[in-house]
Amino acid sequence: MCGIVGYAGHRPAVDVVVGGLKRLEYRGYDSAGIAVVADGALDVRKKAGKLANLQAMLEADPMKDASTGMGHTRWATHGGPTDVNAHPHVSSRGRVAVIHNGIIENFAELTAELAEQGVVMTSETDTEVVAHLLESTLEQAGDLAEAMRLACQRLSGAFTLVAIDAQDPDRLVAARRNSPLVVGIGDGEHFLASDVSAFIDYTRDAIELGQDQVVDLRADGVVVTDFRGQPVEVTPFTVTWDAAAAEKGGYDLFMLKEIAEQPKAVADTLLGRIAPDGLLRLDEIRIPVAELREVDKIVIVACGTAYHAGMVAKYAIEHWCRIPCEVELASEFRYRDPILTRRILVIAISQSGETMDTLMAVRHAREQGARVLAICNTNGSTIPRESDAVLYTQAGPEIAVASTKAFLTQIVAVYLVALYLAQVRGNKFGDEVAAIVRQLADMPHKVDLVLDTLEGVRALAEQFAEAQSVLFIGRHVGYPVALEGALKLKELAYMHAEGFAAGELKHGPIALIEEGIPVIVVVPPPLGRGVLHEKIISNIQEVRARGAVTIVIAEEGDEVVTPYADHLIRVPACPTLMQPLVSTVPLQVFACALATAKGHDVDQPRNLAKSVTVE
């Protein structure tokens, strides 16, 4: 969750590190801190609250000049967001400073051991334990990289650690286990970060550290070993987007920018995957076609918004492929002892590729012999590296904590997988696949049309800023869209919001309906699956009869719903399975506008961080 930046080079380290922290503040904004080595001693500054508080401190009391440094933005786990608990943490004798992303699970045992040695803890964090442990190990090993390797062998949990030594000022040493860390390769300078956006201003060349690896980083070189000190091969990659893609580009909010980028993100996710004959060519899927033909069940694992994308995909997979499909919360998956075999394909969906719950589900699935296909937006991240195959979404950087373009591109990516399976297994003829691919290829234009008509949605959202609760209902693929709309409102507006399958209203949720409560209804297209449309009209009448204010999302030309809609939001007509790509967008804008009207920080909602890298 936390943001980590490290630098060794020829530039002023404070400027580079603070600039990187600005780009990573979406990963954690409870507190921030920075450390450099100057004049043979550590210089550390840290402050609770957002990064602006640390910047004000640095302006009032500038740090000493240094060309090596590290910084951190925190999402609190152990200990509240206070000045003392902010990172970096310094060892008892002031030699070592450490920043950390993750959780040290055996911190209590280590704390007791250090207490016997006379070490007194000054914070409530598990990270401080590492600083003391590293200092005592360093005094024995005499080398920071070796001390890091030895210390990591004693740690349990998920962690990225970065350390500097007051007696070795031109060097950073870092380690990772189950938590992201990427190295930026420059000319006479090198970078460390939990996300490439931290150093994209300086280089697009990077390497991703593997599991249980230590990197020794200086201005003139990078050495990577495992925790036992053995050299390891690294895989370089090049970031395909530039610094401008991670900026707001004239928008007031990153979320607004990312909502507007959705047509391009969908188009880019389709790019290069459609052959001239209209069939699919998914070269990234390295699972042999013969094995794909033997798949008799698909299990999708994901969390949050990605889970909702998986729920949408289930309808398409079962309809197109005729393969049973289950969608599971990754955080629950391995704890129920699922039955997995070689003939089961597990699809893991994660925007960051570092979602810890999903990563552990991937590992469990592979241990049980299942094949795993990752759907991910981040090149070189852990989940794709540990899966059998990957299909990358091409959404570009997503900075706002609440996912928008990630959701649409995840749906498109899993649809591509479903169609590809139908194609290689013979469930669909070539002309049928090509026809559906044409429908997908038309969706960027239709999403663009939706974006052109959303001023009324913004105004409508402001009217409901004082509402105590908002309910969402839908049928078929509209049900997960309703869940996603409710999630966005919870994340951004901090209000009660619930999504329901519309047919479940009479089984309990209708008791929530009272005079004036807003109910947002995702109406399926009237053609194709007409029974769905008829049923949801009845559901609208049921809630209106009990005093609800109905906000209805329906396609152009659907006049049957008009008498039952207190407020009507139109979206372009499209096939039922494509409708989530257009019906979700007004819900994103509604949540963003309502939260803004309530005065909330939309890009950085309270208690949340972009990437959940701990269980």
Hey, which residues are catalytic here? Answer: 2, 610
Per the structure block, which two tokens stand in for 612? 């959940």
User: Quick check: 520 and 553 in contact, CB under 8 A?
Assistant: yes
Dihedral angle, C-alpha 606, 609, 614, 615, nearest 10 ° = 60
- 145-159 burial, b at 16+ Cβ within 10 Å, e below that, comes to bbbbbbbbeebebbb
Per the structure block, which two tokens stand in for 363? 């590992």
Report the DSSP beta bridge partners of residue 183: 192, 207
For 514-580, strand residue ranges (E) read 518-522, 549-555, 567-571
For 377-462, strand residue ranges (E) read 389-392
Per the structure block, which two tokens stand in for 26? 């979406």
Other C-beta atoms lying within 10 Å of the C-beta of residue 251 = 14
Rounded distance, CA 466 to CA 518, Å?
11
Rounded distance, CA 296 to CA 338, Å?
15
Rounded distance, CA 594 to CA 151, Å?
48
Report the DSSP beta bridge partners of residue 551: 520, 567
Q: Which residue has the tokens 């030699």?
A: 95
Residue type, 231: P
- The burial of 276, by beta-carbon neighbours within 10 Å (0-12 exposed, 13-18 middle, 19 or more buried), is given as exposed
Rounded distance, CA 577 to CA 529, Å?
10
Count of alpha carbons within 13 Å of 461, Cβ hemisphere only?
23
Which of these, 394, 397, 319, 311, lies nearest to 347 by C-alpha position?
A: 311
